[in-house]
Amino acid sequence: MAQAAVISQQPGSGPDAQSAAVALEGVKITFDLPDGGTYQAVDATDLAVRGDEFVAIVGPTGCGKSTLLNAAAGLLKPASGTVAIFGEPLSGLNRQAGYLFQQDSLMPWKTALENVAIGLEVAGVSGKEARDRAREWLGKVGLGAFGDRYPHMLSGGQRKRVGLAQVLIRDPKIIFMDEPFGPLDAQTRLIMGDLLLGLWSADRKAVMFVTHDLEEAISLADRVVIMSAGPSARIIGDYPIAIPRPRDISEIKLDPRFLAAHREIWHALKEEVLKGYRQSNGGA
């Protein structure tokens, strides 16, 4: 009831499909269930992200945010609708994009340095140059001295830093992030957010950042997109965040503009969160 009033006009805040780095049009995603039926995760969804825009996607857990990201990355094929990357329809994997996953996805048998360098090596950069540049990137994420560590010797936050360097060293035009800081503690998340914004501001790319944490979304993003609870999740709100950059993430929560945005978006999100919660506990 309440959320209907606050759905904002999407065409006004988003770019048009032609100029967008990522443009999803009518994307519907279904999964085949083992019993022969199908589960519709995401209902016809339109979303466009500009080439230098940081968009956060927020929604209750299990609402299909990651699914939407995977469709944009080419990791799964939508049942209908189109995904266009810089105006070109996407077929196969999205080669212009980097993806920072929620789960640990470093290769455990490679050192931090090897993990960062591998993206360049498989693209044909010579071993030495790849290593030099990987060392440089490890420095940028504050792990200059940890190059010879294996992932299990690093803390969760350090592994995320390596993952960030691994993605960014390839200089992708689009960056997908699926609750990248989800498993980290609150302080580390702030520090990682700061690091991410610092690196992103220096060289702006299109970012699609999935999170369930509204505060994180508002403090990082140019736009916050709200998804409804699944199944058949869809976008129910699209809010530009007018807080100027550079932002200080640890201080931003006291900014009145942050509080206003938070109040407005939370109002829309709350219903969905409760709905999602009821559904996931449906039988009980």
Partner 1 sequence: MKRAKLLLLQVLVAVVVIVIWHLISATTLFGDPKTMRFFFSTPIDVGGRIVQWVIGGTVWYHLGITLLEAALAFVIGSVGGILIGFWFARRPMVNAVFDPYVKAANALPRVVLAPIFALWLGLGIWSKVALGVTLVFFIVFFNVYQGVKEVSPSVLANARMLGMNERQLLRHVYLPSALSWMFSSLHTSVGFAMVGAVVGEYLGSSAGLGYLIQQAEGVFDVTGVFAGMFVLTACVLVIDWLVTKVENRLLVWRPQPAMASN
Contacting residues toward partner 1, per CB under 8 A: 73, 75, 93-95, 97-99, 101-111, 118-119, 122-123, 150-152, 163, 166, 170
CB-based contact 120:134 (threshold 8 Å): yes
- Residue (105 or 280) nearer to partner 1, CB: 105
Q: How far is the CB of 53 from partner 1 (least distance, A)?
A: 20
The span from the CA of 46 to the CA of 191, in Å, is: 32
Q: How far is the CB of 121 from partner 1 (least distance, A)?
A: 9
Q: How far is the CB of 111 from partner 1 (least distance, A)?
A: 8
Question: How many CA atoms within 13 Å lie on the side-chain side of 52?
Answer: 4
C-alpha separations of 233 from 41, 43, 47, 190, 263 in Å: 6, 6, 13, 29, 22
Candidates 30, 59, 60, 25; CA nearest to 42 is 30
Q: How far is the CB of 112 from partner 1 (least distance, A)?
A: 11
Cβ neighbours around 66 below 10 Å, total? 18
Q: How far is the CB of 64 from partner 1 (least distance, A)?
A: 17
- Residue (56 or 112) nearer to partner 1, CB: 112
CB-based contact 197:241 (threshold 8 Å): no
What are the backbone angles phi and psi of residue 80, rounded to the nearest 5°?
-155, 170
